[in-house]
Structure 1
Amino acid sequence: MGVTEDAIREICTDAVFERGENYLTEGRIREIHRVDTTVTAVVSGSRQYDVRVDFAADGFDPWCNCPYDGPGACKHVVAVLLCCLNDLPADEGDRLDAALDAADPDALREFFREALATDAALREQFFASFGESSTRSVDELRAAIDRRFEETNPEYYVVFEPIDFSEWFDLADEYRKQGRDASAAAVYRALVESLDDNMERVDGAYDHFSRAFTRALDGYVDCAAAADREADGATDAVAFLEERIESGTPYLADQFERATADLKEELVDGSDG
């Protein structure tokens, strides 16, 4: 666990570090858990905020669902990291492993099957992890992401706070690990479409949504190019990006132009290879 005060200061501003210290002193961390290198916590601010950090990741890979839109990590993340600096939570990983080892195989199978039957996102992650084909199309994936926008602030059209897209990024990452670039590209495309079309609703946490869009777009280019090379032919990926230059959110047009050029270059390089 490489958490130090200097490492925490590197991911936030001085003002945010001070606010994080105050939050820790005020006892605003309501709940904190650790499994292996991942720590999850609930921090009390204007409401309860969920925080996640990973000590094995560069810069702790922090995530919080608060509306902070400034540079670096927010005060909730800093408070959690400072808490871990002073008193690292007990690792529940061994307990989890012991429970899995002791579980009756049939009972364990029944437990997971029931969980998978009622949770579409978990089921999709399961299929991806164990080599099964995706059960959701781009349109279905996109509809699920759109619902997250609608559920975030149901009383208003405008979205003020960050949305956790890790469910879909994790799914795409798993497909990439399996070498299934076409499936990963479908997930990234769903994210790109939803973020592009819903960006006009965003009125806060701009950096969060911008980073998510850029990550999804870059992932789409990489995976679409790899899938095309594997199939020894072009798909509609370039056409999709070119269409978005004209029809998408105006201030994202430059990113779509860059992505289109990058994809064309990767396809040419792949065909030459």
Structure 2
Amino acid sequence: MDVTEGAVREICTDAVFERGERYLAENRILDIHRVDATVAAVVSGSRQYDVRVDLEADGFDPWCDCPYDGPEACKHVVAVLLRCADDCPPDEGDRLDAALKAADADDLRDFLRETLATDAAVRERFFTRFGESSTQSVDDLRAAINRQFEETNPDYFVVFEPIDFSEWFDLASEYLDQGRYASAAAVYRALVESLDDNMERVDGAYDHFSQRFTRALDGYVDCVAAEDVDAEEVADAVAFLEDRATSGTSLLSEHFERAAMELEETFTEWRDN
């Protein structure tokens, strides 16, 4: 969609739009670049925040790791979109393609292997994209997600800032694109378990964590209820959800109860038909 002031106003409140305008005028965008339709930027606020928008998506599909928990887009996203409306950064897609084409195959392979060796999330997505089986169990995935909570505020138990879980949702999407629902379900379940286990330490950005939990829980239910529904797998999933409803964080118990009921109803409808 076209990046215009009017289009930006449609995805934020008037107050947030004004703050975004001010941030742009104050030159708070520290870094911005574009590859194809994806724009990534760093915006200075109380700290530096990462922002991503998709210029071709409906509503620009905005993402920011700030603690904003109000309706619609935050001021950092607004500032970036207004910058794009006024002076969109050049598309580096062709430059990237040219560099990839010119790169020596062995050098490129070495670079990729070094990256994969040090980044577990990228490594898992690589295995997924090129048809390898998942190398991580729910326990492994949950442990990696738990480390994000530990690393966010290592000196304190409490987590004040939002955590970027996009690498895990991206991984689940990779599996879904290949029709690998069981693998995607494992990722979603690990997110659900980790968020449930760590929700009591969250003190701020509640809307951020609540939205990610709901997204992961819905994704898990959808994957379990997807193709080739198996009665035993559904029963195990329902038991997991019902157990979490009683043993997990109390503020999430209703969500687990709803998910268990929804999954049972979906399976009953499928079986009866």
TM bin, normalised by shorter chain, reads over 0.9
| Partner residue in 2 for 1:73 | 73
For residue 234 of structure 1, give the secondary structure of its aligned residue in structure 2.
Answer: helix
| Partner residue in 2 for 1:234 | 233
CA distance, structure 2, for counterparts of residue 177 and residue 269 of structure 1: 25
Contact 1:228 1:267 survives alignment (8 Å): no
Q: CA deviation at 1:106?
A: 2.1
Q: Deviations over 1:189-217 (max 9, x none)?
A: 00000111111111111111111011000
The residue identity in structure 2 corresponding to 1:234 is E
Q: Deviations over 1:2-47 (max 9, x none)?
A: 2121221122111111010000001111100001111111111122
Contact 1:36 1:93 survives alignment (8 Å): yes
For residue 111 of structure 2, give the secondary structure of its aligned residue in structure 1.
Answer: helix
The unaligned stretches of length 5 or more in structure 2 are: none
For residue 40 of structure 1, give the secondary structure of its aligned residue in structure 2.
Answer: strand
| Partner residue in 1 for 2:219 | 219
Change (3 A) 1:74 1:156: same
The residue identity in structure 2 corresponding to 1:240 is F
Q: What is the number of equivalent residue pairs in this alignment? A: 272
Q: CA deviation at 1:113?
A: 1.5
| Partner residue in 2 for 1:4 | 4
CA distance, structure 1, for counterparts of residue 257 and residue 245 of structure 2: 6
Contact 1:241 1:257 survives alignment (8 Å): yes
CA distance, structure 1, for counterparts of residue 154 and residue 245 of structure 2: 30
Superposition map of 1:149-188 within 5 A: 149-188=149-188
The residue identity in structure 1 corresponding to 2:105 is P
CA distance, structure 1, for counterparts of residue 114 and residue 247 of structure 2: 42
Q: Deviations over 1:55-91 (max 9, x none)?
A: 2223212111222222221111110010001000000
CA distance, structure 1, for counterparts of residue 8 and residue 155 of structure 2: 36
Change (3 A) 1:202 1:54: same
Superposition map of 1:106-255 within 5 A: 106-226=106-226, 229=229, 231=230, 233-235=232-234, 236-255=236-255
| Partner residue in 2 for 1:46 | 46
Contact 2:224 2:233 survives alignment (8 Å): no
Paired-residue identity, %: 75
Runs of 4 or more above 4 Å deviation: none
Q: CA deviation at 1:232?
A: 6.1
CA distance, structure 1, for counterparts of residue 176 and residue 151 of structure 2: 29
CA distance, structure 2, for counterparts of residue 248 and residue 227 of structure 1: 29
The residue identity in structure 2 corresponding to 1:120 is A
Q: Given the two structures, how large is their TM-score scaled by the length of structure 1?
A: 0.95
For residue 147 of structure 2, give the secondary structure of its aligned residue in structure 1.
Answer: helix
More divergent stretch after superposition (86-95 vs 153-162): 153-162
